Structure 1
Amino acid sequence: MPKGIWVFVEQAEGKVRKISLEILSQGRKIADQTGEPLAAVIAGDGIAGLAQEAAGYGADQVFLLNSPQLAQYTTGAYTSALAKLIQEKEPQAFLLGHTAVGKDLAPRLAQRLGVGLASDVIDIEVDPEKFLLYKRPVYTGSAYSFVEIVSRPSLATVRAKSFPVAEPDPARQAEVIEAAVTIDPEDLKVIVKDVAYLVTSRPALTEADFVISGGRGMKGKENFALLEELADVVGGAVGASRAAVDSGWIDNQFQVGQTGSIVAPTLYIACGISGAIQHIAGMGASKVIIAVNKDPEAPIFNVADYGIVGDLFEVVPLLTEEFKKLVNG
């Protein structure tokens, strides 16, 4: 009989991603409500040291898939190893982050296991009859659907910032299980030789509490330095609309929107962004939204908590100076 709420703990270079801690924290609450044990699943090479961190955030069990073949993420190897573990242990639910890895891995697991998948989930409700109901946005965020998955395990990818990170308990202990790693040869279609990382002092776009984005109104690549200066003052990240990315002013990894990254920071500042529905879908869940645009009829003002009608090249430097005062006391 299926048993347990499982969370895939995503890690890179031995560091757990914040979204996995968010899901573990919520998973603990779900496990307490359902009476199910909470398990963390960590894959990689030399990852035993991460088990205690997962335990501190609520895991009762930690499954370690430890192998040189899993040192770097590849679709085939991770799908093969995780599918075998899930088939052997039969959890009730398997939750992943709605990240580049999660969006790649989850549908492959669903197909391999023959089960249902709810993607881009923003809330999980416990239902006494239906077990778990997954809330996800549809129609670019203008409506929501509640998804029941009758197959087991039920798979879901969870959007970043959907749940708060709980205070960890460093004294908490979990059962650590070294799972056997067997990967079918036909699944080893890609071997990663090396990974080049973008070195930056700024937080990842999807994990930042402060995001300032620029759109067509930035007028050029060089003007993004204005946004970078403000982001650095408050320890935030820089984003962009698709128009700015398509114009070649900034790399597409910084795109916020339906076809880019989904962000939900505490504060989101949109500069020179008109507010197309595709962009709103990517940042509409932000706690506070400030729009800076010289067009008073720009649609972005319809979703903004605060609006500044003015020239961003005048407004942003003023905001930077005010934030410096706040940060420096």
Structure 2
Amino acid sequence: MAIEILKEKCIGCGLCFKSCPYDAFEFEPYDGNKAGKIAKVNAKCSFCNQCLTACKFGAIKEKAQEAAVDLSAYKNVWVFAEQRDGKLMNVALELIGEGYRLAKEISEDTKVCALLVGDGIDHLAEECFAYGAEAVYMIQDPLLKNFTTDGYTKVIKQAIDEYKPEIVLYGATHIGRDLAPRIAARCNTGLTADCTRLDVKVSSYIDFAKKNTTLDTSTLDPDDPSTGIKQTRPAFGGNLMATIICPKTRPQMSTVRPGVMQKRDKVEGATGEVINVKPEITAADIRTQIVEIVKSAKELVSLTDAEIICSGGRGLGDASGFELIQKFADKVGGVVGSSRAAVDAGWIDHSHQVGQTGTTVKPKIYFACGISGAIQHLAGMQTSDIIVAINKDADAPIMEIADYAIVGDLYKVIPAIIDEWDNAEKMYDASTK
């Protein structure tokens, strides 16, 4: 999209100047009105559309741009390898694995590349290579040591313009959700948020479709050189899954929920190419200043990394029920999760919430205690390796997807499981003596 000034209506009043947060307006001479000047949009415009309602004379309108994009000029899969304090986020490693799969499905020549932004982070390249990255684009500068939206957006946009990746993946973290839409807007491309699945749709699909008589080939272009990805995400409150494509612009961009994709097995000593990208950035480009970083003193819940999660829901009855869930989690070596209903009731902090509006998880074992299984909750945990549901209602939705469904009072079932766990530990100790 673009902003267009209607010269015959602009009176040079300057109202648009005041409404623009990016200083994207300036005056240019014009003899068609009394003021002798009209507003002009410069390169700082981010198409936020604040000016559309500010103009009282209808002199500003939104204009669609059909920019011709050479899709064949774009190649490779990039993964924004998010790091904090010199440590890679787990979702970055998951996405490198997913990016590797996508790259090899596109072609053998397509590479998965990690994009590292920060300062003093050379050591992270080795970890990216170990989990499947074939190249690492390294952007370092003292101004990028801590994340700022302005700084990261500018340098990543510069790198995309120079190297033209076909696909860029971000983790759907607080940083990823802040960064990805800004970069997508500046690249004039689309973004699919909170994806749970990615698939490749390449031009070879045309040949496959022609062989498969059940598929409609009338809309396929045999000369189309592009490689598309089908990006799937929950829609309408999780009641259906929408598959979205970006056929006309590049790069194709997605944010992907942590805990959804599978990490590749780590290969110690793996190497690859490191491309050092010199960023063009100054302190004036960053409108926010980090005065102090205060970390929460409370223990943070790492649901995405947990191998065992014990979650409680409305069936606990009240907040005191989480004391039993905590005891259960401590016994089996897990962490405490919860449903949205328990969080909304004020029984537990939001950091424990599992589901579409919480954290997407993929543990080895997921205990759902007193959770009925709303579709939003199921969307966030149904890929767990083993699901154990404990509920009084045998017809609860959670029971349908559970590997082990226990119908009963959780206040009787969980203590019984803890007792059996204790007995198993005693027997094991006795057998090892």
TM-score, normalization: structure 2? 0.69
Aligned to 1:80, the other structure's residue is in SS state: helix
Q: Structure 2 matches for 1:232-271, cutoff 5 A?
A: 232-271=330-369
Question: Residue in 2 aligned with 1:54?
Answer: 128
Structure 1 residues 153-185: Cα deviation after superposition (integer angstroms, max 9, x where no partner): 110112233332222222221222232233463
- For the structure 1 residues 79 and 138, does the alpha-carbon distance in structure 2 shift closer, same or farther, using more than 3 Å as the test? same
- Superposition pairs of residues 95-106 of structure 1, within 5 angstroms: 95-106=169-180
CA contact (8 A) 1:72 1:192 kept: no
CA contact (8 A) 1:269 1:292 kept: yes
Structure 1 counterpart of 2:379:
281
Specify which structure has the bigger relative contact order, considering alpha-carbon pairs within 8 angstroms and separated by 6 or more residues. 1
1:194 counterpart = 2:266 = no
Equivalent-residue separation in structure 2 for 1:198 and 1:75 (angstroms): 25
Q: 1:281 is aligned with what amino acid?
A: A
SS in 2 for 1:212: strand
Match of 2:182 in 1: 108
How much does 1:82 deviate? 1.4
Tell me the CA shift for residue 5 of structure 1: 0.9
Letter in 2 for 1:28: Y
Does the CA-based 8 Å contact 1:203-1:235 persist in structure 2? no
Change (3 A) 1:323 1:94: farther
- Higher Cα Rg, which structure: 2
SS at match of 1:145: strand
Aligned residues: 328
Match of 2:202 among 118, 128, 133: 128
Residues in 2 aligned to 1:327 and 1:158: alpha-carbon distance in whole angstroms: 39
Of all paired residues, the percent bearing the same amino acid is: 40
2-structure distance, mates of 1:121, 1:322: 40
Structure 2: gaps spanning 5 or more residues:
1-72, 204-226, 429-433
CA distance in 2, matches of 1:192, 1:233: 42
Checking the alignment, whether the CA contact within 8 Å between 2:238 and 2:376 is kept in structure 1 is no
Kept in 2, the 8 Å contact 1:135–1:146? The answer is: yes
**After superposition, what is the alpha-carbon deviation per residue over 1:113-164, rounded to whole angstroms, capped at 9, x for unaligned?**
1111122223322222243222333344443333222211110112233332
- Aligned ranges for residues 6-25 of structure 1 at < 5 Å? 6-25=78-97
Cα distance in 1 for partners of 2:188, 2:407 equals 52
> What secondary structure sits across from 2:160 in the alignment?
helix
SS across alignment from 1:191 = coil
Equivalent residues of 2:148, 2:286 under 8 A apart: no
Residue in structure 2 matched with residue 318 of structure 1 by the alignment: 416
Q: Is the 8 A contact 1:216 1:272 kept in 2?
A: yes
Contact 2:392 2:408 in 1 (8 A): yes
Determine if the alignment matches structure 1 residue 143 to structure 2 residue 231. Answer: no
Residues 4 and 38 in structure 1, CA contact (< 8 A), matched pair in contact too = yes
Report runs of 4+ in structure 1 exceeding 6 Å deviation: none
Residue by residue over 1:180-226, the C-alpha shift from the partner in whole angstroms, topping out at 9 and shown as x without a partner, is 233463543252621304564x8611232322111122233343132
Q: TM-score, normalised by structure 1?
A: 0.89
Q: State the Cα distance separating 1:258 from its structure 2 match.
A: 2.4
> Which residue of 1 is the match for residue 113 of structure 2?
39
1:226 counterpart residue number: 324
* Contact in 1 for aligned 2:389/2:398 (Cα 8 Å): yes
CA deviation profile, 1:32-67 (whole Å, cap 9, x unmatched): 332212211112232111111111222222122223
Q: Which residue of 1 aligns with 2:151?
A: 77
**Among 167, 171, 178, the residue aligned to 1:93:** 167
